[in-house]
Amino acid sequence: MYEKDPVKIFVVEDDPAYTKFLKYVLGLNPDYEVEFFTTGKECLNNLHKNPAVVTLDYSLPDMPGEKVLSQIRAHDPNINVIIISAQEKIGTAVDLLKLGAYDYITKDHETKDRVLNSINNARNKSSLIKEIDYLKKEISEKYEFEKSIIGSSVAIKKIFSLLEKACSTNISVSISGETGTGKELVAKAIHYNSKRKNKPFVAVNIAAIPRDLIESELFGHEKGAFTGAITRRIGKFEEAEGGTIFLDEIGEMDPNLQAKLLRVLQEKEITRIGGNQVIKLDVRVLAATHKDLTEEVKEGRFREDLYYRLLGLPIQLPPLRERGNDVILVAKHFLDNFTKENQMPKFKISQEAQQKLLQYPFPGNIRELKSVIELAAVMATEQEIKPQDISFNNSTRIESFLHQEMPMEEYMYRIIRHFLNKYDNNVLEVAKKLNIGKSSLYRYLKEMEAAGI
Ligand SMILES: Nc1ncnc2c1ncn2[C@@H]1O[C@H](COP(=O)(O)OP(=O)(O)OP(=O)(O)O)[C@@H](O)[C@H]1O
């Protein structure tokens, strides 16, 4: 956790009476570590000590205040320089503030309160900057590939190598995969491992926003643009400026908006609804869908030109059932996280329970595995998960399987694949279980091989 440090302050002042005054005022706060200098040079020579705040007398004997200020700013723009001056000239104050001074205070009977206030504000600003840096670092670490995307199967290793390519360039990325396969997680990992990591990551789920609000959600609107637009609103694209926008469930976008989105992507600029100012954009687009977009294009539901614009580097996330032993690795990862979060002792997963997990097809993929494991941890009576602690929700299983909308024969191929996995590729056993002829099964297997299923 990030802690507030004592604040280091440099006082640069050649007037002994004022130095004495500041020594007294700043000495009132035990959190302040103060060093005093009488010349600009001395202050500059000590900048390696990283002060958070410098109070700088504008009229020093050796250097003009502007010069000391510029050199401090050149050394570290995060140091807050408060100019203390006997002059009340507004022009000088404005010039110094333009040069980057944090505040300008005149020497009068209110100096004490104003100095203390200003230092306090500067301190809060520095703490916030440090805290933001700390959180950014923590987020980047959280999304390091190997720490966030668990798995060591061949299928997931292929994804890691695509992710490296996605991170080192600015190419658009289209992520596809069944529900719960980690599309959003992958999008975040790309962003937080790319050069844009210090800028925003903005996720928009197209399917979750009512149709008539999507345009304003994405591109923003001006006050009065339509009934209900009582204030100006910045859209998600503007929010993501410099960073990444993640358009989830892109296949759900209606054709009108598809045309608008295409224009935005081509022109790299937007105009808020009801506005006429053109706003330039530098936003990387990552899009995801659980649908087969080529099919959507064929059926005329998705624009072909937009499809090619978004396609970029395609990443197809395999379903969990095709990731072999990753099921166990991910299950252990979720179990460790769950027990830690709930201050429970460490749990194991028995061999039999592992077999049960490996035999189940997880139609809800990793999201489903997470809830299955968390429930199992709650149900377990010992510190080991046994088969009886694991229960699958059969209705979601069938629904989410049907939700994928594919031709009848593909459903059949999937069912056959599932049974082959379950019965160790024993064709005779599978034919018996499915009550189909052995030769029919061989014929289907040939078709599956040809179709790469
Ligand atoms: N390989 C993985 N290792 C660990 N956790 C994962 C992995 N893949 C996904 N998850 C976790 O599984 C959950 C579901 O992932 P995510 O929301 O990214 O899936 P999705 O494909 O975007 O789902 P949907 O299609 O429903 O939007 C999240 O909690 C995510 O952190």
Give the model confidence (pLDDT) of 20-56 as tens digits: 888 888 888 888 899 999 999 999 999 999 999 999 9
- DSSP per-residue codes, 278-320: EEE---EEEEEESS-HHHHHHTTSS-HHHHHHHHBEEEEPPPG
| pLDDT for res 394 | 58
| 388 shares a domain with 411 | no
Q: Is 361 in the pocket of ligand 1 (CB under 6 A)?
A: no
Q: Which domain holds residue 128?
A: 7-139
The per-residue pLDDT for 187 is 96
pLDDT higher than 60, residue 1: no
* 384 in the same domain as 442: no
Question: pTM of the predicted model, to two decimals?
Answer: 0.67
Q: Please state, as a whole number, how many other Cβ atoms lie within 10 Å of the Cβ of residue 57.
A: 25
Split at pLDDT 50, 70, 90, the class of 358 is: very high
Asked if residue 114 is part of any domain, the answer here is yes
Cβ of 364 below 6 Å from ligand 1: no
Query: Is 229 a member of any domain?
Result: yes
Whether 124 and 237 share a structural domain? no
Counting from 1 in the atom list of ligand 1, the atom nearest the Cα of 151 is 1
pLDDT at 38: 94
Do 309 and 324 lie in one domain? The reply is no
Residues 426 and 387 in one domain: no
By C-alpha distance, which of 383, 350, 356 is closest to 369? 356
Domain assignment present for 400: no
Cα distance between residue 82 and residue 84, in whole Å: 6
Q: With cut-offs at 50, 70 and 90, classify the pLDDT of residue 404.
A: low
Average the pLDDT over 164-188 and give the result.
93
Both 158 and 113 in a single domain?
Answer: no
C-alpha 151 to ligand 1 mean position (Å): 13
The string of DSSP codes covering 174-219 is EEE-STTSSHHHHHHHHHHTSTTTTS-EEEEEGGGS-HHHHHHHHH
Q: Do 297 and 222 belong to one domain?
A: yes
**1 in a structural domain:** no
**Residue 6 to residue 307: CA distance in whole angstroms:** 54
Question: Is residue 373, in this structure, part of any structural domain at all?
Answer: yes
Span from the CA of 364 to the centroid of ligand 1 (angstroms): 10
What is the whole-number distance in angstroms between the Cα of residue 146 and the centre of ligand 1?
14
Ligand 1 pocket, 327 CB below 6 A? no
**Two tokens at 415?**
């069912």
Q: Which residues contact 161 (CB under 8 A, 6 or more apart)?
A: none
Mean pLDDT of 84-106: 87
Counting the structural domains of the chain, the total is 4
Residue 420, pLDDT score: 83
53-65: average pLDDT: 91
Q: Show the DSSP H helices in 28-110 as ranges.
A: 40-45, 65-75, 90-98
Which protein residue's CA is at the shortest distance from atom 8 of ligand 1? 182
179 Cβ inside 6 Å of ligand 1: yes
Do the beta carbons of residue 211 and residue 251 sit within 8 Å? Answer: no
Q: Length of the chain in residues, anyone?
A: 453
pLDDT at 2 over 50: no
Last residue of a domain, one of 111, 139, 167: 139
Give the residue, by CA position, lying nearest to ligand 1 atom 9.
182
Residues 6+ apart with CB under 8 A from 375: 391
- Shared-domain flag, residues 102 and 50: yes
Q: Residue 260: how many CB atoms within 10 A of its CB?
A: 15
245 burial level (CB within 10 Å; 0-12, 13-18, 19+)? buried
Atom of ligand 1 nearest to the CA of 333: 4
Residue 346 identity (one-letter amino acid): K
Q: How far is the CA of 185 from the centre of ligand 1 (A)?
A: 6
Q: The CATH number of the domain where 117 resides is what?
A: 3.40.50.2300
Q: How far is the CA of 254 from the centre of ligand 1 (A)?
A: 25
Per the CB < 8 A criterion, the answer to whether 193 and 143 are in contact is yes
The amino acid present at 428, given as its one-letter code, is L
Amino acid at the residue 360:
Y
Identify the CATH number of the domain in which residue 433 sits: 1.10.10
- Residue carrying the six token digits 């570590």: 33
Q: Is 323 in the pocket of ligand 1 (CB under 6 A)?
A: no
- C-alpha 378/C-alpha 344 separation (Å) is 10
Q: Is the CB of 38 under 6 A from ligand 1?
A: no
Nearest-atom number in ligand 1 for the CA of 370 is 12
Of 158, 184, 291, best ligand 1 pocket probe by most atoms within 8 Å of the beta carbon? 184
350 and 330 share one domain = yes
Residue type, 238: E
Report d(CA 47, CA 62) in Å as an integer: 17
| Of 298, 316, 334, the domain-final residue | 316
pLDDT at residue 249 is higher than 50? yes
Report the separation in Å between the CA atom of 441 and the middle of ligand 1, taken as the mean of its atom positions: 34
Q: Is 295 helix (H, G, I), strand (E, B) or coil?
A: helix
User: Greater confidence, 160 or 86?
Assistant: 160
Q: Looking at the CA of residue 317, tell me the nearest atom of ligand 1.
A: 21
Task: Choose the weakest-confidence range: 5-19, 260-274, 295-309.
Answer: 5-19
Of ligand 1's atoms, which has the minimum distance to the CA of residue 188? 18
- Say yes or no: CB of residue 181 within 6 Å of ligand 1: yes
Output the residue whose Cα is nearest ligand 1's atom 26: 179
Check if 187 has its Cβ closer than 6 Å to any atom of ligand 1.
no
In the three-class reduction of DSSP (H, G, I as helix; E, B as strand; rest coil), residue 80 is classed as: strand
The pLDDT confidence band at residue 145, using thresholds 50, 70 and 90, is confident
Q: Is residue 207 part of a domain?
A: yes
The CA distance from 428 to 436, in Å, is 10
Query: Both 102 and 79 in a single domain?
Result: yes
Q: What is the mean pLDDT of the chain?
A: 88
Residue in 139, 366, 369, 396 to alter for ligand 1 test, most ligand atoms within 8 A of Cβ: 366
Whether residue 306 is found in the same domain as residue 176 = yes
Distance between CA 281 and CA 266 in Å, rounded?
Answer: 11
Of 273, 301, 316, the one marking the end of a domain is 316
**Is any atom of ligand 1 closer than 6 Å to the C-beta of 177?**
yes
Atom of ligand 1 nearest to the CA of 156: 1
From atom 31 of ligand 1, which residue's Cα is the shortest distance away? 185
